[in-house]
Chain A
């Protein structure tokens, strides 16, 4: 899925927050507090994408899973071949 500006901002702050948390820097908590109002404006689709991440946070922090576009591509190709 294409991330909108708010989700991109959330992901950028999330990466910085986790880096600071890992370094034991209390500024990580300040960033966390700033993320609340952004999180509250995210769409359900955005939240589902954040929830779909698995594994250790170091492997996914600041990113969301790419959506599989194979089916969409196949449908588009079918329309093209029918035209």
Chain B
């Protein structure tokens, strides 16, 4: 995809293929996160909970590394409505009180695997929370680089009227 092109607007996955339209019928392989878009409409990258990246506090390992089972960047499985109300952009409605500058982006499992990342559902809240973790143990810097490498694979799920 050309560098300056806008990200595609998703609205769901069907049998492994992206479909475009309204946010509905999203399959179980999709993960969503509310993030601030950059000037080209891709999610901004960096160690911030409103960007594509992780904070040092998001691992439970003693040495500060990230790996399978350590925790990591949060995503919401299956539906944009599983994103916390305080992170969903206000314009989404249904009690959303998050920043109105942010957009909701979604990504498929396969695109994370290509960057050696895997999603682990939160055992405490499997329906509405999951972690994106590296498949091998790496440093925070390497982890954030890996997350940033997926930037062009995230597709806008909301707002829907900017395509």
Q: Does A33 contact B (CB under 8 A)?
A: yes
List residues of B (89-105) whose CB comes within 8 Å of A's CBs. Answer: 90, 93-99
- Assembly CA distance A40 to B90 (angstroms): 20
- The answer on a CB contact under 8 Å between B86 and A35 is yes
Q: Does B74 contact A (CB under 8 A)?
A: yes
List residues of B (60-76) whose CB comes within 8 Å of A's CBs. Answer: 74
- Assembly CA distance A35 to B122 (angstroms): 17
- The answer on a CB contact under 8 Å between A50 and B95 is yes
- The answer on a CB contact under 8 Å between A51 and B95 is yes
- The answer on a CB contact under 8 Å between A57 and B49 is no
- The answer on a CB contact under 8 Å between B86 and A57 is no
- The answer on a CB contact under 8 Å between B81 and A51 is yes
Which residues of the other chain, B, contact A54 by a CB distance below 8 angstroms? 93-95
Q: Determine chain A's interface SS by DSSP, over half rule.
A: helix
- The answer on a CB contact under 8 Å between B86 and A32 is yes
- The answer on a CB contact under 8 Å between B95 and A39 is no
Q: Which of A21, A29, A50 contacts B85 (CB 8 A)?
A: A50
| Minimal beta-carbon separation of A17 from chain B (angstroms) | 6
List residues of A (52-80) whose CB comes within 8 Å of B's CBs. Answer: 52-54, 56-57, 60-61
Q: Which of B49, B94, B95, B125 contacts A40 (CB 8 A)?
A: B125
- The answer on a CB contact under 8 Å between B124 and A40 is yes
- The answer on a CB contact under 8 Å between B86 and A17 is yes
Q: Does B84 contact A (CB under 8 A)?
A: yes
Interface flags for B41-82 (1: CB within 8 Å of A; 0: not) read 000000001100000000000000000000000100000010
| Minimal beta-carbon separation of A7 from chain B (angstroms) | 12
Which residues of the other chain, B, contact A60 by a CB distance below 8 angstroms? 95
| Minimal beta-carbon separation of B105 from chain A (angstroms) | 17
Name 13 A/B residue pairs within 8 A (Cβ), A-sorted: A17-B86, A29-B49, A32-B87, A36-B49, A36-B84, A47-B128, A51-B85, A51-B94, A51-B95, A52-B94, A52-B95, A57-B97, A61-B97
Nearest first, the 6 A-B pairs at minimum CB distance are A53-B95, A50-B95, A39-B84, A51-B94, A57-B97, A50-B85
Binding site for A on B (CB under 8 A): 49-50, 74, 81, 84-87, 90, 93-99, 122, 124-125, 128-129
